[in-house]
Every structure is written in C-alpha cells, then in structure tokens.
Amino acid sequence: MADTPLLELEDVTAEYGPFRALFGVSLTIHPGDAMALLGSNGAGKTTVARVASGLVDAATGAVRVDGVTMTREPTYRFAQAGIAHAPEGRSVFATFTVEENLVLYFRRSLGRKNVPAALDEAYTLFPRLGERRRQVAGTLSGGEQRMLSLARVLVEKPRLLIADELSLGLAPIIVDEVYETLTSIRSSGAALLIVEQHVQHALELCDHVALLDHGTIAWTGPSAEAADVVVDHLFETGSSS
Amino acid sequence: MTLALIGEDFVRALLQGTPPGTVYALIGLGFVLTYKTSGVFNLAFGAQAYISAAMFFKARQEWGWGIVPAVVLSVFVIAPAIGLTLERLIFRNLRTASAVSKLVIAIGLSVALPALFELIADYKPVAGRTPTGIVPDGSSVFYDPTGVYPFSRDELAQIIVAGVGVILLGAMFRFTSMGLAMRGVVESPRMTELAGIPADRVSALAWAISSIFAGMAGVLIAPRLNTLISNDFFTLMVLAMAAAAVGRLVSLPGAFFGGMGLGWFIAVFNTYLPRWADDHTWLEPFKDNLTPSLPFVVLFGILVFWPAIRRAVDAADPLSGVDPPPPALAATTRHPLLTLQTRIFGVCFLGLVGWLGFTQADVRWIALLSTATVLSIIYLSITVITGFAGQISLCQGAFAAIGAFTVFQLVDRYDMSALTAALIGAAIAAVVGAIVALPVLKLGGVWLAIATLAFAFFFDAVIVKFSWVGGGESALFSGTQVPRPVIGPFDFGESDRAFLALAVIVLVIVSVAVIQLREGTIGQSLRALRSSEVAAESIGISPARARIVAFAVSAFIAGLGGAFLAMLEGDVNYPKNFSPVAAMFWLVLVVSLSARTVEGAIQAGAAFALFSPVILEGSFLEWLPYFNEDNLPGIFPISAKWRFVLFGLTAIQFARHPEGMLEFGKRRATQKRNDRYYARDAERAAAPEAAT
C-alpha cells in the first residue's frame, strides 16, 4: 500500500455565497511533493489554496489530511496538523509590530523556547524585517508585508507549505532568495503547494502541476510535460475547450 | 478664602472621586477587553452589570444569602455564564461581521437583557430599597486616614477590588501569550486560526473575563444608587464609554486612567461649579443642568477633540475576501410578473386597511393606526441614516423631540399654526442634525454611534430641562400641550379620522421623498460609500458631504414625525416617547425588520404600535368567533416587556441578514417565484424554436 497522502481533496466544490468557485476538484499531495497550481485569473487557484488550509469550507466533497477527514473542520486544526498557509496580498496583523506578528505564529508552532532562534532566522532571511522589527506592520510597504507573511511560513518549516501568489509584489532579487529557501525546505522533506504567476519559476521548483480552468482541474501531470499544455490552455483557449 | 482651604477642597474632591473613578475604570477595562478581543462595542455591558447587581440584591435581601455566596453567584457564575452564552450563541458567528452590525446587536441585547432578566428572575425595582455593598456595614463605617475625606467601607472595597482586577488583567496581557492571541482574534480570526490558535476559545475566555468585570462593577457601584433600575446602569455604561474612549477603545492603561480621570474630574467640577455660580450669576442655570450631564459632555468632547481618536483606523481583515458579498434588494431582482402581482396585492391590502380604518374602525383602532402611521414617518428617518448611509445614529429620539418641542413652544408662545410649526421644527432638527454630525462624521462607524448616543443623553439631561425647550416648571403642571393643525375648513383636532388621513398623506409624501433620495444622486453616492469608501472618493464623492446631507434629511424626517406624534397625543410626552432608551428600541426594531426599504419602516411602525395591544394583550383572539373581551385565556395579557425581549433578540438576526428579517424572507420567497417564472419564460422562448 502506498503511503498515505498528506493532503487529499476529493471532488471538492466551494462557493462564496451564491457564487460557486470550484466544481469537483480532486488533488493529492504526498509528503515531499511540490505542486504548482496554474491557471488564468478567476480559475479558482486561490480557492483551492484556501480549501487546502481550511480557510474556506468545502461545500461538498471531502478534505483529508494524513488520511483523516477534516472537511469543514476549523482552520486551526489544519494549522496544528502542520499545514501553513501564506495567503495572497498583505496578510499580516496590521496593528501588531513586525515582531509580534512573528511571535504569535512561532510560539504556537515552535514552542516558546525556540522563538528567539526563529526570529533570528527570519531576520537573516529578510534583513529588512530585522531593521523594522518594532514597526507596526500596517505601515510597512506592500513588499515588506509580503516578506513578513512569507517569513513565518518559511521559518516554521511546516509539513505542507501553501503559498498564494508567492512572488507578487516582491523585488526580483528577493524572489530568487525566496525560491532558494523553498528549495532547501523541499529538500528537508516538506511538501509545497504553490500558486505562482512566474510559470517558469514554478515549473523549476515543482515536480507536479495542476492546471485549473473555470473551477475544475483541466490537467495534472509532471512539470516536465506541463510547459506545452500550459501554453495551450492559457493562450489558445479555443483549441482546448 | 485662603489658599490652603482651596488646596484642601481640591484634595477632598480628588479623594471623593477616587472610588467611583475606580469603578468607571473597571467597566472601561471590560469594555476595552470585549472590543479588543471580539470587535464588539458591547452596549449591553450596562445590562450585564445591572443583572449581576440585581441578582446580588435579590440573593442578599430577598433570599437572605451571605455576602460570599451572593458574590459568587452574581459575579462569578451568572456574569460569565451570560458572557459565554452571548459569545457562543451570538457573537461567535459574527466575528467577521462589520463593526456596525455587531453594534446593532449589542443595542438589541441592551434592550432585551434587562427585560428578560426581570421576567425570568421576577425582579421588580422597588423605590427606596437601597442596595447594599459587598462588605458589612459598608455605608455606615468610615475611615479617614488623611483627615480630609472619610472613605466609607463600600468605597474602600470599590478601590481595592477594582485595583486588584486591573492588576490581574494587566498581568495577563503582559506575561501570557493570551494577550497577543486575543488581539489577533479581533483583527483577523482567520489569520489567527492559520497560526493554529483556536479563535473560538480565545474569544470565549475574553468574554467570560470581561463579563466578570461588568458584573463586579455592577455589584460595586450598586450602593451608590438609591434604587436598582436598569436605565441607571445604562447611564453608568455611557460614563465608562468616556473612560474607554480616552484609550481609543483599545488601550487598557488608557481606559484605566480615563476612568480615574473621569471620577476626579466630576468630583472637582461638582465641588467648584456651585461656587463659581455664586460669583457669576450667568452660570446659575448651568449649575443644575450641567452636573448630571457632565459625563456626556465629556464623552462628546473626547470624541471631538481627543487627537488619538482621529488617528484610530479600523484595521481591515486581510482575509475578508473569504466572505460572500451582500445580496441585492429583493425588489431589484424581481421578475416583472412578480412585481405586478406584488403591486396589485399591495394596493389591495392598503385599500382594505384604508377602508377598514376609515369606515369600520372604532376610536381605539383609529388611535392605533394613527400611531403606526406617525411612527412610520419617524422610522423613515432611520431608513435614511442607517439603511442608506449605513451609519448608526442613536439620537433620532432627540431629533424627533426637537420637532415636537418646537411645535409646543411656537404654538404656546406665538400662537403659530401647528403645521407651520411642525415644518419649522423639522428644519431646526435638520440643522441640529448637521451640526451634531459635522465634527464626528470623519470618524464614522462605531464612533458616530457613540457620539450620537452622547448627544442623546446630553439632550435628555440638559436641553430638555431648559424652559425654552421642555417648558420648565409650567410644564410640570399643565404638560407640554400640542394642538392639532387647522387647515382652512378642516380642523384635525375635531376628528381623529381626519388626523389619520393627514398623517397618511404626510407619510406618503415622505415615503416618495425617501425613494427619490435613494434613487437620486445622494442615494447613489451613499450606496457607493457603503460599498467602498476609497473607491467612492476616487470618483469624486465627498463622504462627509453625502453623510451630512443624509444626517440632515434624516433629522428633518425625524423632527417632522416627532411633531406629528406630539400632535396625535396632544402632548409631547417626552419621557415616554423620545427618551434615549426608547429611541434605541426604534433603531433595533427598524434594522431587525428591514432598514433599507420604505416598506420596512412602515412595517416597523405597525409592529411597534400594534404588537403590544394586538398580540400581547390578546386582542387578535377577539377576532375569532368564540372569544370576546371577557373570556380571553389566562395567559393574556402577556407582559409588555416581552416586546423588548422579542425585538431585542431579533436584532441578532441583523448580522446574518443585515438587510433585515423581512427583507431576507422576501428575498427568499422572491427567489423561488423568480426561478419558476424565468424557467417558464425560457420554456416559452424555446417552444417556438422547436416548432420551426
């Protein structure tokens, strides 16, 4: 019997009020997998990421973590199971200082003793955050807020790291650093679920690709074969549908 | 008068202000704690304090319990139980709701909880039965360490208990992770959960703690009151609000020093104002009026002048995109056929009610219908300010009272025509509304609600007492009489039926104006502001101007309605009709039914006027063949308090259906019919194609 998947979405639908965003999405991520979610705007990438971390409840279908059904469980259970999600945009506690933002996460995931070391690591990764550790996070620039929300998931070394719009708003040189860190996290055995606009970056990092189209999975497969399919889907919509 | 004497008086005032100051600080802290950890501006705090105080009173004086068990029951069992119940049943589901909708629910609870408690515990405030404190002989044993001011035992107990509470709370925030988690939950429960922290448990704990603070404060402050009445506790809470406002509602030290400062300030003011008034006669009228209202003046002043509040920016939840957008009005998505049906039904229904009202109704029914009509006019003012502009105003009662008092004064002094006076009154209300709104409009949201509440209480405590408003002493004997208008050959005082017709005409005119407002530029601007203030400003809409217009229009309508209510009853009846607490109930009623439509306001008017006499007194049974006035079942009449409980609790629905219960039901019903009609349309459209 194959090892239990770390995360499994089975025939999941999800909706925001009257608006349905996902129509029967199935995904499997095993420990150590790195999957890139690709698709055009509004295809449902962010929603898949949200369902995977419990932020959005699946309306129908099942979500399993380590083979245990977690459908419609509260979000914190997902986090306690080792799934860390860096949502898109400026997802920081705006009234907290930079350090308080990190401390809130690290205390729970790493234990009180390990917080100072984790803070050092975060500030080494993003020196800019170290300079501004006492600054209120809401007054940081957009890029700095992205760094802050990434810093905690990168340092935490979760079992599954979900990053939405990973490189959006970051300077290219920082993007390279982030990808270096992700590569090292991967090599230490963590699984990744990445939503990324830089298709090239994503394909280099990940070994699997799931292509979303209008709320359904249009294609899954290894990254090596993905390039052609992706081009087909994104640019020649007429031929594929 | 020597300098030393002034110094001694000053010190005495400070000492005198310390015990109440610590209690204000205690409530202020509880306030801040709830606001910080659940985003709820808990106006029901006063109600919670009242329940604990009344429970303590009942246990001590009626059941003869000892002090310790009574404190345990009222402060450490009942208080947190209420807090946890509110959190679990209501506010937990609302964590991501807007601050304004949480506020509305808290207002609903502040109306419902005291009534519910009095019904369940069978508690009746009895004048002259003075509550006792948590120490034996609290009010009769004094200690005077300084030789300036003797503290009673009760006062010392207040200082000690409140001080210990403050220190414990500070320690929790300073030395445990819980403080950070609590702050995280209020800003974004979802992101806190992403950090693996169960947001539910964190906010439940915060509610339990803050409720204990409320209960403690209630029990401690009770000995200062002559009789335990829930309204006094509401006033007390407004005081604590001023304390909390010093710390922008989020700073615990700010709330503490705000509370202490308020206690001292009031004591010093009360010491010196009578003396200044002796020297300067122009201060004389203020001496009696300003003292009771000082807290409200302070609160309003803090809101307007305290710089920190201007800087306070509500932090938005970065994950709010997870929530679905608000639904459109049912009427805007209706199938044309359904619209036609609705209109025909509406016309028939109104025709029937009109026919019954004008030909069949007896005096009692005409009075009820007139009340419903006039209240509907007033409620349309809430439709404008809350339904369209999305702002919570708690001083609509004051605006309505301005209209009513203007008619009283102008007719009384200048013998003016009542109708002209009503229009002038409405115009004055509009000007006052704009002036009140001006300094606080930028604050918006919760702050506007607090400011209007402060104004309502200020109006209640000071303005009404002036003889040029409330009639002063002469009103005590002859009342504030208001005649009905006479237009040409019609004397509306002669015939109640004619007055009903006049009220209906005014209601129709105001309704049309309100609909025009909604569809016009101002309405569109307000709608845009509600959707996104930033986006609206970027296309050149001035939020301040649009809101001031909305406020003025709303105040105008309220003033007009208030004038008509006074004409209907022949008297202003200020305490019964327009007191701040009565006006809060209006708001709760309108928003819980439907704040965004004209029908909603009219339904609310009918509900307010008819619910009590028809349902609670059992009149509806008299329509059935078997029953008559004398053989109604024993459960009737049901206590009118149930009205507060029921409508207060329906406000809970506000967060889930911010459009109001009726609007929600309407949308659901509309949806079904729509689906059917559109499906039939589609079939018909398909049929000819199939034939060809």
Residue A181 lies in a domain: yes
Do B596 and B681 have their domain in common?
no
- The DSSP result for B462-490, as a single string, is TGGGSHHHH-HHHHHHH--B-PPPEETTE
Share of chain B above pLDDT 70, in %: 86
Choose among B196, B200, B325: nearest Cβ to A79.
Answer: B196
Q: What predicted TM-score, i.e. pTM, was given to this entire model?
A: 0.79
Q: Which of A87, A95, A108 sits opposite B195 (nearest CB)?
A: A108
**Mean pLDDT across B602-628:** 76
What phi, psi does B466 have (nearest 5°)?
Answer: -70, 145
Task: Pinpoint the alpha helices (H) of chain A.
Answer: 45-52, 75-80, 98-110, 115-125, 127-131, 142-156, 172-187, 199-205, 223-235, 237-240
For B462-476, the pLDDT digits (tens) are 788 777 777 766 666
Same structural domain, B479 and B614: yes
Asked whether residue B392 falls in the same domain as residue B446, the answer is yes
Nearest of A71, A31, A79 to residue A51 by alpha carbon = A71
Instruction: Name the DSSP letter for residue A136.
Output: B
Q: Is residue B598 part of a domain?
A: yes
> B349 to each of B354, B357, B661, how far by Cα in Å?
8, 12, 21
β-bridge partners, A191: A160
List, in order, residues 6 or more apart from B81 with CB less than 8 Å away. none
Of the spans B8-22, B525-539, B674-688, which averages the highest pLDDT?
B8-22
Closest residue by Cα to residue B428 from B555, B248, B287, B285: B555
- Check residue B313 and give its pLDDT: 52
Residues forming beta bridges with residue A163, ordered by sequence position: A86, A194
Q: Confirm if B419 and B576 have CB atoms less than 8 A apart.
A: no
Residue A200 lies in a domain: yes
pLDDT of residue B427: 95
Give domain status of residue A97, yes or no.
no
- E-assigned strand segments in B101-225: 142-143, 151-152
User: Which residue is closest to B323 within chain A, CA to CA?
Assistant: A16
Distance CA A56, CA A78 (A): 12
Q: Does position B314 have pLDDT exceeding 70, yes or no?
A: no
In a domain, A123, yes or no: no
Q: Which residues contact B132 (CB under 8 A, 6 or more apart)?
A: B57, B60, B61, B138, B139, B222, B223
Cβ contacts (< 8 Å) between B315 and chain A: which residues? 93-95, 138
What one-character-per-residue DSSP string does B206-260 give?
A: HHHHHHHHHHHHHHHHGGGSSS--HHHHHHHHHHHHHHHHHTTTT-HHHHHHHHH
pLDDT tens column, B411-429: 888 888 888 899 999 999 9
Q: Rounded CA gap, B510 and B484, in Å?
A: 19
Measured between beta carbons, which residues in chain B are less than 8 angstroms from residue A112? Answer: 177
**Distance separating the N- and C-terminal Cα atoms of chain A:** 36
Residue A96 resides in a domain: no
Give the residue carrying structure tokens 């699946």: A58
CB–CB of B196 and A16 under 8 A?
Answer: no
| Residue of A83, A96, A97, A104 to mutate when probing chain B, most B C-beta within 10 A | A104
Token pair 């320690």 in the structure block, residue = B171
**Is A153 within a domain?**
no
Phi/psi at A198 (5° precision): -70, 90
Verify whether the Cβ–Cβ distance B196 to A76 is below 8 Å.
Answer: yes
Instruction: Give the pLDDT mean for B76-96.
Output: 85
B182 in the same domain as B115: yes
Residues B689 and B643 both lie in one domain: no
| Residue-averaged pLDDT of chain B | 81
* Closest chain A residue to the Cα of B190, Cα to Cα: A55
* Chain B partners within 8 Å of A95 (Cβ): 183, 187, 315
Lowest-confidence pick of B327-341, B548-562, B676-690? B327-341
Closest CA to B183 of B314, B315, B37: B37
**Residue A1: partners with Cβ closer than 8 Å, 6 or more residues away:** none
Average pLDDT, chain A: 86
In the predicted structure, residue B564 carries a pLDDT above the cut 90: yes
pLDDT at B397 over 90: yes
* Separation CA B252–CA B278 (nearest Å): 40
User: Which range marks the domain in which residue A195 is found?
Assistant: 7-91+160-240
> What local confidence, expressed as pLDDT, does residue B6 receive?
64
Of B177, B193, B327, Cβ closest to residue A74: B193
Which domain, by its residues, includes B394? 366-659
Q: Which residues contact B351 (CB under 8 A, 6 or more apart)?
A: none
- Please, where are the H alpha helices in B570-660? 574-577, 580-593, 598-610, 619-622, 641-650, 653-656
Sheet holding A34-39, edge to edge: A83-86, A160-163, A191-195, A34-39, A208-213, A216-222
Interface contact flag, B322 A79, Cβ < 8 Å: no
Same domain, B614 and B525: yes
Contacts of B199 in chain A (CB under 8 A): 74, 76
In eight-state DSSP terms, residue B152 is E
Residue A234 resides in a domain: yes
Range list of H helices, B247-359: 252-279, 284-305, 307-311, 336-355
Per the model's pLDDT, the better-predicted residue between B361 and A185 turns out to be A185
Q: Does B190 sit within 8 Å of A103, measured CB to CB?
A: no
CA distances from B282 to B53, B247, B273, B286, B336 (A): 40, 35, 12, 8, 66
The residue ranking higher by pLDDT, B3 or B286, is B286
> Does any domain span residue B225?
yes
Token duo for residue B114 = 């005291």
Q: What is the mean pLDDT of residues A85-94?
A: 84
Q: Among B236, B260, B205, B261, which Cα is nearest to B33's?
A: B205
| Nearest-by-CA chain A residue for B200 | A74
Joined together, the tokens standing for residue B233 give 């506790």
Q: Which residues of B touch A (CB under 8 A)?
A: 177, 180-181, 183-184, 187-188, 190-200, 313, 315-316, 318-319, 322-325, 327
Please report the pLDDT score of residue B27 as a whole number. Answer: 85
Task: Please report whether residue B317 resides in a domain.
Answer: no
Number of domains in chain A: 1
Residue A22 lies in a domain: yes
User: A114-118, B152-156, B479-483: lowest mean pLDDT where?
Assistant: B479-483
User: What is the mean pLDDT of the segment spanning A142-159?
Assistant: 87
Domain boundary pick from B214, B241, B261: B261
Tallying the residues shown for chain A, one arrives at 241
In CATH, what number is assigned to the domain containing residue A168? 3.40.50.300
Calculate the CA dihedral of residues B489, B495, B500, B506 and round it to 10 degrees: 30
For residue A83, give the chain B residue with the closest CA.
Answer: B194
Q: Mean per-residue pLDDT for B426-450?
A: 84
In this prediction, residue B405 carries a pLDDT of: 92
User: Across the A/B interface, how many CB contacts are shorter than 8 Å?
Assistant: 92
Contact B324 A16 (CB under 8 A): yes
Name every residue in A having a CB less than 8 A away from some CB of B: 15-19, 50, 53-56, 74-76, 79-80, 84-85, 87, 89-96, 100, 103-105, 107-109, 112, 138
List of residues 6+ apart from B590 with CB closer than 8 A: B379, B382, B383, B386, B387, B600, B601, B604, B660
Q: Are residues B85 and B183 in the same domain?
A: yes
Q: Are B578 and B399 in contact (CB under 8 A)?
A: no
Beta-carbon separation of A84 and B190 below 8 A: no
The predicted pLDDT at position B565 comes to 92
- In the predicted structure, residue B477 carries a pLDDT above the cut 80: no
| Percent of chain B scoring above 90 in pLDDT | 12
Mean pLDDT, residues B147-162 taken together: 83
* Chain B residue whose CA is closest to A55: B190
CB contact under 8 A, A16 and B197: no
SS3 content of chain B, % helix, strand, coil (to 5): 75, 0, 20
pLDDT given at position B284: 64
**How many independent structural domains does chain B possess?**
3
Provide mean pLDDT across the span B535-544: 81
For the stretch B586-598, pLDDT in tens is: 888 888 787 788 8
pLDDT digits (tens, 9 = 90+) for B635-683: 666 777 777 787 777 777 766 666 666 777 777 777 777 778 888 888 8
Boundary of a domain, candidates B195, B226, B261: B261
| pLDDT higher than 70, residue A235 | no
Residue B274 lies in a domain: no
Q: Is residue B278 part of a domain?
A: no
* Residues of chain B with C-beta less than 8 angstroms from the C-beta of A56: 322
Statement: residue B290 has pLDDT above 50: yes
What confidence score (pLDDT) does residue A1 get?
42
| Alpha carbons A48 and A65: distance in angstroms, whole number | 15
Closest CA to B90 of B76, B77, B104: B104
Q: Is the dihedral of CA B576, B581, B587, B588 positive or negative?
A: negative
Which class for B74: exposed (0-12), middle (13-18), buried (19 or more C-beta within 10 A)?
buried
Q: Where is pLDDT greater, at A120 or B306?
A: A120
ipTM reported for the complex, 2 dp? 0.86
- For B254, B364, B497, B616, the CA distances from B357, given in Å and listed in that order, are 57, 11, 8, 21
| SS3 call for A49 | helix
Q: Is B573 left (phi over 0), alpha (psi -120 to 50) or beta?
A: left
Q: Is residue B571 part of a domain?
A: yes
- Do B685 and B647 fall within a single domain? no
Minimum Cα–Cα distance from B179: chain A residue: A104
pLDDT score, position A238: 45
Which of B195, B313, B319 is facing A87, going by the closest CB pair?
A: B319
| DSSP of B562-589 | HHHHHHHHTB--HHHHTSHHHHHHHHHH
Q: Do A104 and B323 touch (CB under 8 A)?
A: no
Highest mean pLDDT among B197-201, B431-435, B479-483, B645-649: B431-435
CB contact under 8 A, B319 and A95: no
Contact A87 B323 (CB under 8 A): no
Cβ atoms B78, B12 nearer than 8 A: no
Residue B340: pLDDT band (50, 70, 90) is confident
Strand (E) or helix (H) holding B7: helix B3-38
